[in-house]
Amino acid sequence: MTDLKTFEVWFITGSQHLYGKETLKKVAAHSQEIAKFLNASKDISVSIIYKPIVTTPEEILSVCKEANASKNCIGVITWMHTFSPAKMWINGLKILQKPLLHLHTQFNRDIPWNDIDMDFMNLNQSAHGDREFGFMVSRLRMERKVVVGYWKDESTLKSINVWCRAAAGWNDWQNAKFVRFGDNMRYVAVTDGDKVEAEYKFGFSVNTHGIGDLVKVINEISDKEVDTLIKEYEGTYTLSASLQKNGKQRQSLKDAARIELGLKTFLQDGNYKGFTDTFEDLHGMKQLPGIAAQRLMQQGYGFAGEGDWKTVALVRAMKVMATGLKGGNSFMEDYTYHFEPKNEMVLGAHMLEICSSIADRKPLCAIHPLGIGGKEDPVRLLFNVAAGDALNASIIDMGNRFRLLVNEVQAIKPKHKLPKLPVARVLWKPMPDMKTGCAAWIYAGGAHHTCFSQNLTSEHLEDFAAMANIEFVLIDKNSNLHQLKNELKWNEVYYRQT
Ligand code: MN
């Protein structure tokens, strides 16, 4: 993944000429100091770039045009140290295409009780200057994040950084390419959707290749490359007996490695950021990609099964947002329930393809039969997932809009060994409780495919949804069904109006 520090967020301070040169010099110096502090903070993952203060409509329009055209600029932070009459901002904001964060802070943390005079008041007027700016952003019906707090406070920095990470994910989607091998799984509804609208709304494209195009690349992989990758498998995982050297299914491990190398070559050559396949279309492939999908996800590629291109894109974006954080993000499916009273939980897994970034320890590399697809037994990585706060996110196409749905969950340490279950798996308890969480998910039309995250919060995804200007629905510890059902109905009206 790209180092997030290569991305820039521009720090733009608004003012006006009313106060004279000396005051504007101070505004610029203070603004520079804040930008420098944010840039150097260990809590901020991207580069924060100071931009000269803006005091006229022309300067504002110009810096917004510059931000739009800049390849490295992934978002803009605005702050009004003094008062910046907001009609000056109309034309700039109207054309701004990068995500916007409005930082409502003040250069001085405290009121200097004994020394405060009108000069102090006139310099430190963000309390009302930012309200004038805020009105205009609301008046223009623009999505943005408002962060309130002193600029050195940890909570302020953390909230800014959540947005910066979301902006990195959003930036990654722009002009991204995802590839589908084969079509959507026959008759499945939620994995399908409007790819034209998605490209318009989200900026990424999804195009298809016949599986034969991939098989050709797989078949061109040399034995030497396969041997090198098998050495890597041996160094990284515990291999089950039949896959070890001279084991009776060693050839299947070689086939799996060849599939991984072929997929990776295809993705690299086509500049793709993720892929989806389907067990219904594997002509010429020996196995359904198992370990290949698991390892490519761990390397940062988006993936989802059965032609589910929306989840592919979501997995990729969430991996970018989480760059450098402890824990992982994986394609996931709500598979089976445990309905024991007061201990209800969900067992999440997939046929094979759970990302090894969420493994709690060194995975076991094993081979088992797969009941569907009609191919040879696929090699896969087996592991459990650690306990802790997590979430499931899903993007669905409601016909007139996309909805990003998030359910906060508590991952549970498994008490049982599940010796006969040959797939990687996670146990979790949905928030606020099993009955409410699952019912809310179903009322909201959430998919069975999700991205499971150990290291992102619902705030990351809420900020991301705002950047994409799509609906965001959260199921968390405060959710209740009555309120959620109403929220969905009210949203329905809102999205018919806009
Ligand atoms: Mn599935």
| pLDDT for the residue numbered 498 | 61
Q: How far is the CA of 334 from the centre of ligand 1 (A)?
A: 9
**Rounded CA separation 379/243 (Å):** 9
131, 106 Cβ separation under 8 angstroms: no
* Neighbouring C-alpha atoms within 13 Å toward the C-beta of 132: 20
Per residue in 281-302, pLDDT (tens digit) is 999 999 999 999 999 999 999 9
| pLDDT for the residue numbered 372 | 85
| pLDDT for the residue numbered 164 | 98
Q: How far is the CA of 357 from the centre of ligand 1 (A)?
A: 19
Interacting residues of 486 by C-beta distance below 8 A, sequence separation 6+: none
Q: How far is the CA of 185 from the centre of ligand 1 (A)?
A: 9
455, 494 Cβ separation under 8 angstroms: no
Q: pLDDT at residue 260 above 80?
A: yes
Tokens 């700016």 found at: 133
**Rounded CA separation 322/172 (Å):** 12
Q: How far is the CA of 305 from the centre of ligand 1 (A)?
A: 5
Q: How far is the CA of 352 from the centre of ligand 1 (A)?
A: 10
Q: How far is the CA of 315 from the centre of ligand 1 (A)?
A: 14
Q: How far is the CA of 333 from the centre of ligand 1 (A)?
A: 6
What global pTM score does this model have? 0.97
**How would you list the strands of the sheet with 238-239, edge to edge?**
238-239, 364-367, 379-382
Per residue in 100-111, pLDDT (tens digit) is 999 999 999 999
Of the pLDDT bands very low, low, confident and very high (cuts 50, 70, 90), residue 198 is very high
Q: How far is the CA of 449 from the centre of ligand 1 (A)?
A: 6
Tokens 């992982």 found at: 328
Strands (E), 188-328: 205-209, 238-239, 274-276, 302-304
Q: How far is the CA of 308 from the centre of ligand 1 (A)?
A: 8
Per residue in 205-233, pLDDT (tens digit) is 999 999 999 999 999 999 999 999 999 99
Q: How far is the CA of 395 from the centre of ligand 1 (A)?
A: 14
Please give the angle made by the CA atoms of 51, 52 and 56, to the nearest 5 degrees. Answer: 120
Per residue in 20-65, pLDDT (tens digit) is 899 999 999 999 999 999 999 999 999 999 999 999 999 999 999 9
Per-chain mean pLDDT for the chain: 97
**Rounded CA separation 217/80 (Å):** 55
Interacting residues of 25 by C-beta distance below 8 A, sequence separation 6+: none
| pLDDT for the residue numbered 371 | 85
| pLDDT for the residue numbered 373 | 83
| pLDDT for the residue numbered 374 | 86
Q: How far is the CA of 351 from the centre of ligand 1 (A)?
A: 7
Q: How far is the CA of 394 from the centre of ligand 1 (A)?
A: 13
| pLDDT for the residue numbered 134 | 98
Q: How far is the CA of 483 from the centre of ligand 1 (A)?
A: 30
Per residue in 316-368, pLDDT (tens digit) is 999 999 999 999 999 999 999 999 999 999 999 999 999 999 999 999 999 99
